[in-house]
A and B are shown apart, each in its own frame.
Chain A
């Protein structure tokens, strides 16, 4: 009987893995719960467990499972340390880093979301339409409604992709401006690694 119980759980975990692989994009816990006929709470427990299994270096997995609390979704992605292998295998050149303007716009959106384009311009004190549009194209920010004001300007917020490529799982992990507390994943990076990454970022050609 216990063996049967375990294999049911394994079956569910395998199903979740298959769904997330085929989807590629973040999938809602609710959706998985509906499909598998289990509760959202159970889905969360299973995905957390899966995340741990992937993360454990002993298991030799190049993948990781991201759980986005705020949007109630989860997603499979590759571990960043294998990016060089992937790029070489697929013949992809490393993409340019984000320009300082783009980063400023991104920061403004991240900390003040949701915001309008004119708010962004106001805070930066300069026209930021190019950077904003570029970030929308890169799917790091997205429209999310309109402001109840003349002209009904669009409001923007950060996306799940934003969280992923900055090593965050929720907006709460954003570095606090004054004290600059590091996000969870970044804690694993040493000061030297961060400095080195910053140096590399400065050397590589930036887009724009």
Chain B
């Protein structure tokens, strides 16, 4: 049995490769590896490696530890047939590696021959995007007719419908407040429904209602308690409306005096600290 090895690490494809080489060199039975001998030779090999191959040697170190571990396990007294052979995993790996190496060279020969078998890439069969005529030209004519009809009815393009919208005046709450006050100066009291009776549009109604709220806030209008209802009994309001009473001593939250026939300029108006933009 040889004790010296004169190989370079670079020749081997890893520690198992080296081990297999040691095993075949020493004519060792792979199923009964003399661990001590193999371990010693392995370590000797690493020690005798050229210094410039140290970076490769790093790969071989884990196996060196593994061998030492197995060697020490083998040295310890083992209870008969109870524990696994510490060499079992190593033997298994060596066998598989040996098989792979043996087959690799045969595979190489096969590949050299049969890699010449070429296959095609899957064909890209795209959907035909050409339009195939299935309708008569008359269909086009009726379609354009429908488009024209729709266009003429389009409200957006119709200036007659559009103009009043942009011309619609802003209704100032101020004006509404004057109207309410004027009306109540005569009537003394009224329900909200009555006050809203003459509105001409939604904007008008909103402005009137906001005016009412403002007057309630300044206590120009006072909400009457139900049991104080004089001529307006609960039956008059049907329980769903409010009776408002005019309080002549309260401030009127508008600019300037109220006179009959007072007309305020159109546009936004503000009453002191209130500004409303009612469209």
A78-93 interface bits toward B, Cβ cutoff 8 Å, 1 = contact, 0 = none: 1111111010000000
Residue of A nearest to B124 (CB): A22
Give the contacts of A162-191 with B (CB-CB under 8 A).
Answer: 164-167, 174-175, 177, 180, 183, 185-186, 189
* C-alpha spacing A200/B111, complex, angstroms: 11
A101: Cβ under 8 A from any B Cβ: yes
13 interchain pairs (CB within 8 A)?
Answer: A22-B123, A75-B119, A77-B119, A81-B116, A103-B104, A103-B107, A107-B99, A110-B103, A166-B114, A193-B113, A198-B105, A201-B108, A201-B109
A112: Cβ under 8 A from any B Cβ: yes
Contact of A80 with B114 in the complex, beta carbons under 8 Å: yes
Give the contacts of B105-152 with A (CB-CB under 8 A).
Answer: 105-123, 125
Tell me which residues across on chain A come within 8 A of B102, comparing CB atoms: 177, 180
Residue of A nearest to B115 (CB): A165
Select A175's contact among B103, B115, B118, B122, beta carbons within 8 Å: B103
Contact of A197 with B109 in the complex, beta carbons under 8 Å: yes
B86: Cβ under 8 A from any A Cβ: no
Contact of A198 with B114 in the complex, beta carbons under 8 Å: no
Q: Which secondary structure dominates where chain A touches chain B?
A: helix
Rounded to whole Å, the gap between the CB of A15 and the closest CB of chain B is: 15
Contact of B14 with A126 in the complex, beta carbons under 8 Å: yes
Tell me which residues across on chain B come within 8 A of A50, comparing CB atoms: none
A23: Cβ under 8 A from any B Cβ: yes
Contact of A107 with B119 in the complex, beta carbons under 8 Å: no
B31: Cβ under 8 A from any A Cβ: no
Contact of A107 with B103 in the complex, beta carbons under 8 Å: yes
Select B117's contact among A22, A24, A164, A177, beta carbons within 8 Å: A164
Contact of B106 with A125 in the complex, beta carbons under 8 Å: no
Tell me which residues across on chain A come within 8 A of B59, comparing CB atoms: 126-127
Size class of the B contact interface (CB-based, 8 Å): 35 or more
B88: Cβ under 8 A from any A Cβ: no
A14: Cβ under 8 A from any B Cβ: no
Interface size on A, residues (CB 8 A): 56
Rounded to whole Å, the gap between the CB of A109 and the closest CB of chain B is: 9
Tell me which residues across on chain B come within 8 A of A194, comparing CB atoms: 109
With A177-B99, A180-B106: A77-B121 Cβ-Cβ less than 8 Å = no
Tell me which residues across on chain B come within 8 A of A41, comparing CB atoms: none
A106: Cβ under 8 A from any B Cβ: yes
A17: Cβ under 8 A from any B Cβ: no
Residue of A nearest to B108 (CB): A201
A53: Cβ under 8 A from any B Cβ: no
Other than the given A77-B119, A83-B117, 8 more pairs (CB < 8 A) read: A21-B120, A76-B119, A78-B117, A107-B103, A107-B107, A108-B96, A122-B93, A123-B100
Tell me which residues across on chain B come within 8 A of A195, comparing CB atoms: 109
Tell me which residues across on chain B come within 8 A of A198, comparing CB atoms: 105, 108-109, 112
Give the contacts of B4-43 with A (CB-CB under 8 A).
Answer: 13-17, 19
Tell me which residues across on chain B come within 8 A of A104, comparing CB atoms: 13, 97, 100-101, 104
Nearest 4 Cβ contacts at the A-B interface: A83-B116, A126-B14, A125-B16, A80-B116
B63: Cβ under 8 A from any A Cβ: yes
Residue of B nearest to A122 (CB): B93
* C-alpha spacing A82/B17, complex, angstroms: 38
A13-28 interface bits toward B, Cβ cutoff 8 Å, 1 = contact, 0 = none: 0000000011111000
